[in-house]
Structure 1
């Protein structure tokens, strides 16, 4: 049988020198110290909130192919998390608390002091997400009611979940997108109806920036279903209305930008260095992205009334979108 060579990339440092209850070990912070040869591999690791750490059970006894598990049952070693394995390799998902040069402070690792670390990877949960999406019951519900999850999140005020989803449409996270989500959630709760793509609920946006994508996602009013109307006024505002024209206009206060900047004072410093002055030092870029993300999601925690004004309006409603015959263009 072929022998494989594995080179440790670092080691675990914590207070547990001997095997102990893994719950106790996981409950205490540990430090993973990376060897100097692999420092470059830590580039932008701060962008990963969770990591999969692969390590070597260096104090494991000879392996057994089956045995008792904590619940009292018996399983083969491949169906358990026993450290007594043919190849004593462990893998645990941890939360990254901090990165200082070659030191990763983590929570959740069940490895003892001086455990050799074989590899570290950004945590991948895509398989779990795809399983949920491919569940036949879940798919059946979405086919009959495609906006049910969005509508439930609106009702429950889950703006963070909605912002995460809106980011998939928008491509990045920013205060503008967050404000669009906040404004749209407020309006949808007041109007108490949902978009079915039939132009009975209309969103009239006065800007074409990030704000509008938050509005588009939450309300379900889009250019494609003819329910999003763009009026180039240049204001961070939109009106949500039914076809009777009785609408709700939500407009950002003129001081909203200042409120957001004061709430996240470090952002401007890194914005000037990375974006304006184009300093792309990896540590600066990583810090900028991290603070920008905090700023986007942190905007959701600012009281709605500090950022917006709300007024009842009578909106001018256009006719339903005309349907034209398809023709072949000579070009």
Structure 2
């Protein structure tokens, strides 16, 4: 097994030459003196209210895998703060009181005098916040930038987190949703694009199945913000384009379904029974949901190029969505777009009340 060399970056000074009551030690100030060669590493350390101090238990001469904690309970060393460890490393979070030159004065340290310090890190204080405080901060961030988490996950290639969130929109997890997430994340990253919900980024989807919900969530292009265009072509494919028409089209390979079935053979029989034959008993639906969940997240592990083809395209882009005047239907007395009415003199009748044909988008596509 490979060994590692660790060099101290500094040493602890305090009144405790031998181990004492840990809580009592934490109440007393300690000074950490940083070796001259590491002074530069202290730049702007005053910005950190709390620090994580990593040190070496230099007076601990043996290790144990189990032992008793102060309450008397037996615990494994990984579930305790015992200094008798496989590697004699201690970590304590301290409050920085003051610093000057190469000296840090802290409280909260339970290391004794002359303890070698091997690293110092600025502490992530968000862990100390209450759940309500964290929620308030999180809410404030999302109010100012609603797509920040989605954008960060796209940049990091974290399709699993994107799929988890897309499931909240879609209502369940399935391979189609996973493929939509994969395709959309790839296109967004490839174009270096993001949606502001103002029709400057458009998604043109060629199917109205689960795939499109993955596309809608990741791209931020939706029917509601007039950035999702549906072409009823029955293909598991979509195009992501800027308003200049320069875009990228991603289409599932014709063999992609078989690739997914081969990777998750158990899913096929439940899909056939529940989705195709519509046997919706509680037991079958429960089994289908369990297997679909496994297959959805498993789909993310299949290499992208085995599932999709990618091509650069010049897309035909519609004008910005018009704002239609609203009028009141003379029969139902409901407000309606003027463009969706028939007019007789000064009176307007909505298509529903007037019996006029209108477009419907449902599971079978667009029809009248």
Which SS does the other structure have where 2:289 is aligned? helix
Q: What is the rounded CA distance, in whole Å, between the counterparts of 2:250 and 2:163 in structure 1? A: 18
Seen in structure 2, the aligned counterparts of structure 1 residues 134 and 324 have a Cα distance that, compared at 3 Å, is farther
The two structures, once aligned, show a CA RMSD in angstroms of: 2.7
Which SS does the other structure have where 2:153 is aligned? helix
User: Does structure 1 residue 141 correspond to structure 2 residue 141?
Assistant: yes
Seen in structure 2, the aligned counterparts of structure 1 residues 329 and 251 have a Cα distance that, compared at 3 Å, is same
- CA-to-aligned-CA distance 1:5-32 (integer Å, 9 cap, x gap): xxxxxxxxxxxxxx963558x99xxxxx
CA shift at 1:141, angstroms? Answer: 1.3
Task: Give ranges in structure 1 of 5+ residues lacking alignment.
Answer: 1-18, 28-69, 73-129
User: Does structure 1 residue 317 correspond to structure 2 residue 302?
Assistant: no
Q: What is the rounded CA distance, in whole Å, between the counterparts of 2:73 and 2:281 in structure 1? A: 44
In the TM superposition, what are the counterparts of 1:122-161 in structure 2 within 5 Å? 131=131, 135-161=135-161
CA shift at 1:266, angstroms? Answer: 1.4
Q: What is the rounded CA distance, in whole Å, between the counterparts of 1:133 and 1:252 in structure 2? A: 44
Match of 1:222 in 2: 222
Match of 2:249 in 1: 249
- CA-to-aligned-CA distance 1:281-308 (integer Å, 9 cap, x gap): 84x6544332221111100100000000
Match of 1:186 in 2: 186
Q: What is the rounded CA distance, in whole Å, between the counterparts of 1:243 and 1:225 in structure 2? A: 14
Match of 2:279 in 1: 278
Seen in structure 2, the aligned counterparts of structure 1 residues 202 and 302 have a Cα distance that, compared at 3 Å, is same
CA shift at 1:168, angstroms? Answer: 0.6
CA shift at 1:193, angstroms? Answer: 1.6
CA shift at 1:278, angstroms? Answer: 3.2
User: Does structure 1 residue 21 correspond to structure 2 residue 22?
Assistant: no
Give the TM-score normalised by the residue count of structure 2.
0.53
Match of 2:235 in 1: 235
Seen in structure 2, the aligned counterparts of structure 1 residues 146 and 285 have a Cα distance that, compared at 3 Å, is closer
Task: Give ranges in structure 2 of 5+ residues lacking alignment.
Answer: 1-71, 83-129, 333-368
Whether the 8 Å contact between 1:133 and 1:139 is mirrored in structure 2 is no
Give the TM-score normalised by the residue count of structure 1.
0.59
Seen in structure 2, the aligned counterparts of structure 1 residues 133 and 212 have a Cα distance that, compared at 3 Å, is farther
Match of 1:87 in 2: none
Q: What is the rounded CA distance, in whole Å, between the counterparts of 1:313 and 1:231 in structure 2? A: 16
Which SS does the other structure have where 1:136 is aligned? helix
Which SS does the other structure have where 1:195 is aligned? coil
Q: What is the rounded CA distance, in whole Å, between the counterparts of 2:133 and 2:176 in structure 1? A: 29
- CA-to-aligned-CA distance 1:91-118 (integer Å, 9 cap, x gap): xxxxxxxxxxxxxxxxxxxxxxxxxxxx
Match of 1:260 in 2: 260
Whether the 8 Å contact between 1:132 and 1:138 is mirrored in structure 2 is no
Whether the 8 Å contact between 1:253 and 1:308 is mirrored in structure 2 is yes
Q: What is the rounded CA distance, in whole Å, between the counterparts of 1:226 and 1:137 in structure 2? A: 30
- CA-to-aligned-CA distance 1:164-185 (integer Å, 9 cap, x gap): 1001101111110000000000
The structure number with the bigger radius of gyration is 2
Number of aligned residue pairs: 212
Q: What is the rounded CA distance, in whole Å, between the counterparts of 2:243 and 2:274 in structure 1? A: 46
Which SS does the other structure have where 2:221 is aligned? coil
Which SS does the other structure have where 2:327 is aligned? coil
CA shift at 1:272, angstroms? Answer: 4.3
Q: What is the rounded CA distance, in whole Å, between the counterparts of 1:279 and 1:229 in structure 2? A: 32
- CA-to-aligned-CA distance 1:226-257 (integer Å, 9 cap, x gap): 00000111100000000110010000000000
Q: What is the rounded CA distance, in whole Å, between the counterparts of 2:204 and 2:145 in structure 1? A: 24
Seen in structure 2, the aligned counterparts of structure 1 residues 243 and 291 have a Cα distance that, compared at 3 Å, is same
Q: What is the rounded CA distance, in whole Å, between the counterparts of 1:215 and 1:279 in structure 2? A: 27
